[in-house]
Amino acid sequence: MSYRRPLAGIAAITAAALVGTIAPAVAADGPSSNSVAQAAAVVERATGAADLAPSLERADGSAEATVEREAESVTITAPATANGPVEVGGTDGDRLTLRLAGAKDVNGVKAGSGTVVYPGAAPSVDLAVQPTVEGSVRTLVTLKDSAAPTRHRFDLDLPDGASLRANDGGGFDIVEQGEGGEETVAGSVAAPWAKDAQGRPVPTRYTAEGHTLVQDIDTNENTAFPVVADPKITFGWGVYINMWGHELGAAALAVGFGVEVGLAYICGKAKLILGTACGLAVGGKVLFPTWAEVKKLKSKKCYQNKFGSKRKWKIVSDKNCKYS
């Protein structure tokens, strides 16, 4: 049996955008190929492009990038137009979406090294999105000139029971509260950054209004445009427990069939998790299988569950149980 805290699904999101392998055609009245290429070049100069991941366009015009991680995969679904929501979800069913308020009905166009851009998605503002090989997605706001608005609102649809809470780093934690009052950090909004055309940092900050993240970018007469800003959301931090089928059956016998317990109880009652794992403060509980479910377990298969997920155990790759 193994126990670990992996980064199960990461999503760095700043605005709705399209991630696609096949770029939509540029309409006759749409942006020119030169403006698309320039928009992508501005973003990639600020972020780099070595870590971009491939993605697939779907029949409905949206796009999807899936990255496999040790514990699970994370799927990023981007809408066909800039005014739709970006959705990020893991195989455990957790998900969040984000939508840039006021974005236009603008199609995404793939350019550069794989960056998808929305030229003119808002007045004097371009949007761009970059899924990465680490399982994250960067969605960026580019202020093209001094006429661009410097306040941007991002509406978040969080999992049930989750909320934004300010942290000491200048960002926000996405906190989920369990039925017993325990709390689990399901993700975080990193402190924002912005760069001008000369690579100089531009002051920027967050505030939260309920589930709406508000970013202010402080440009002035010395700012060299365009300015690229990337508030980053990380979603899917999880605490996972992995057991072989025979171990899970023994644990259920020791802990209780069909009961939901926290890590501290498992450590004290079943004495199955050793070392530093039992010293961790982990929010949420994990549901153990019923007697009927235990009888169906496959002894040589690896099973996994996530604290706070309230879900049943699932079979995963054997490497999870061999992890040390």
Cα–Cα distances in angstroms (integers) from residue 128 to residues 30, 35, 72, 107, 120, in the given order: 16, 13, 26, 11, 11
Instruction: Give the residue with greater pLDDT, 4 vs 299.
Output: 299
Instruction: Give the residue with greater pLDDT, 210 vs 317.
Output: 210
Beta strand 194-195 pairing with 227-229: antiparallel
In degrees to the nearest 10, what's the CA dihedral of 226, 230, 231, 237? 180
Is pLDDT at 4 greater than 70 in this prediction? no
Instruction: Give the residue with greater pLDDT, 317 vs 225.
Output: 225
How high is the pLDDT of residue 236? 61
Of 94, 106, 107, give the one whose Cα is nearest residue 240.
Answer: 94
Residue pair 313/298 in contact by the 8 Å Cβ criterion:
no
Task: With cut-offs at 50, 70 and 90, classify the pLDDT of residue 90.
Answer: confident
Is pLDDT at 158 greater than 60 in this prediction? yes
Task: With cut-offs at 50, 70 and 90, classify the pLDDT of residue 19.
Answer: very low
pLDDT tens readout for residues 25-80: 344 455 678 888 999 999 999 999 888 878 877 777 777 788 876 566 788 777 77
- Mean pLDDT, rounded, of the chain: 75
Calculate what percentage of the chain has a pLDDT beyond 90: 22
pLDDT tens readout for residues 279-302: 444 455 677 888 888 888 888 888
Whether omega for the bond prior to residue 226 falls within 30 degrees of 0, making it cis, is yes
Is pLDDT at 303 greater than 80 in this prediction? yes
How high is the pLDDT of residue 8? 29
The vertex-15 CA angle with 12 and 16, nearest 5°, equals 110
> In this predicted structure, which of 3-12, 202-211, 280-289, 293-302 has the lowest mean pLDDT?
3-12
CB atoms within 10 A of CB 216: 15
Q: Which residue has the tokens 């308020």?
A: 101
Residue pair 105/90 in contact by the 8 Å Cβ criterion:
no
How high is the pLDDT of residue 87? 81
How high is the pLDDT of residue 214? 92
Residue pair 131/67 in contact by the 8 Å Cβ criterion:
yes
How high is the pLDDT of residue 152? 92
Q: What are the phi and psi torsion angles at 129 (to 5°)?
A: -135, 145
Residue pair 250/225 in contact by the 8 Å Cβ criterion:
no
Mean pLDDT value across residues 230-235: 66
Amino acid at position 215, single letter: Q
How high is the pLDDT of residue 263? 59
How high is the pLDDT of residue 122? 94
